[in-house]
Amino acid sequence: MCDWKPEKMVEAHGRTIVREFPEGGIVINQVMGPIVLLLLFSLYSCTPQLPSEQSRAEQEAAKEIAKQRRNLVEQLKWQGIASLTVLDALLKVPRHKFVPQSYRHLAYQNQPLPIGQDQTISQPFIVGYMTQAAEVAPGERVLEIGTGSGYQAAVLAELAKQVYTIEIIPELAEGARNLLHELDYKNVEVKTGNGYEGWQEHAPFDAIVVTAAPDHVPPKLVEQLAVNGKMVIPVGSAFQEMVIITRNKAGVVELRTIPVRFVPMTGKPKP
C-alpha cells in the first residue's frame, strides 16, 4: 500500500523543491527538478490499478464467456436443438455460475460436470433436448424434479411464467435457491422435498421435467400433469431411456426416444 503524498512545502538541503498551492498547482525549483520528478514518478508507480483498468479486464472476460456460450449454442443447434426460444434461453443463462469454481473453465463444454453431493449438472445438449421436448410456452407453469445447482430451472424460467422445482438434498436446494435469487429469477420457487410426491398445491402443471432417473414413472407426477401437458423423464436403472409423456382426456401417451444416463432418483416410497 502506498500512502506517500507531498506536503505543502518539501525541503531538500535547505532548498524548497516543491510548493503546492491550495488550487492544486505545483511549482518545481529548476535546480531540484530531476529529484522532484523522481519523487513524483515513485508516487505514480505505487498507485493501485485504476477502476477503468479493472473494468476493462472484466469486460474482456465477459466477452470471452459470451463467445464460449455462443459457440456452445451453435454446437447444440447442429446437434438437433431447433427451437429458437430454447436456443435463446440457453444463450441467456450463465452456465458458469451454476458450476463450482474449479470447473468453471469447462462450463461451456458440452458435458456434464460435478456439482457436489455426488450429483451433476446435466450436459447442455440434454438440457436443451428436455426443454425442447417439454414445449414450454409463455404463461405456463412448470414443475422440475431435481433442482441440482439450478441451471435447468433457470433455462425453464426464461420460457415459463412460473417454475416450481424440488430438490431432495437440502444443501443443493439452499445453494440453488440463493443463486437463483442472486441472478434475479423471481419466477422460480425452490422446495426441499421428495420429487416422487410432486407439488400438489401448485398442480396441475403444463410441463414436468425430471432430471433424475426413477425405475418407473411416478404415478403422482402423472396425476399432476395438466391435460395436453408433457412430462419429460429419464426412466430405467441399468439401461435408461428418455420418455416423453403427453396427457390427454383419454389418458397418457408415452414416447420413448434416446438412451441417456442420469443419476438415480432417490426418495422412492416404500411399498
Phi and psi, residue 5, nearest 5°: -150, 145
User: What CA–CA distance (Å, rounded) separates 121 from 7?
Assistant: 59
Q: How far is CA 113 from CA 61, 110, 148, 149, 185, in A?
A: 22, 10, 11, 11, 22
Q: In what side-by-side order are the strands of the sheet with 162-167?
A: 188-192, 162-167, 141-145, 205-210, 225-236, 240-248, 251-260
Q: Which residues pair with 188 in a beta bridge?
A: 163
Q: Could you give the CA distance from residue 226 to residue 220 in angstroms, rounded to a whole number?
A: 12
Q: How far apart are CA 123 and CA 101, in angstroms?
A: 17
Place of cell 435469487: 181
Q: Which three cell numbers stand for residue 65?
A: 464467456
* 237 assigned to active site: no
Q: How many angstroms separate the Cα of 87 from the Cα of each of 20, 48, 113, 234, 268?
A: 61, 42, 20, 22, 34
Q: What share of the chain is helix, strand, coil (3-state, %, to 5)?
A: 40, 30, 35
Strand pairing of 119-121 and 15-20?
unpaired
Spatial CA neighbour of 94 closest among 116, 118, 61: 61
Residue from 45, 55, 83, 122 carrying the catalytic annotation = 122
- On whether the CB atoms of residues 41 and 6 are closer than 8 A, the answer is no
- Positions marked active-site: 122
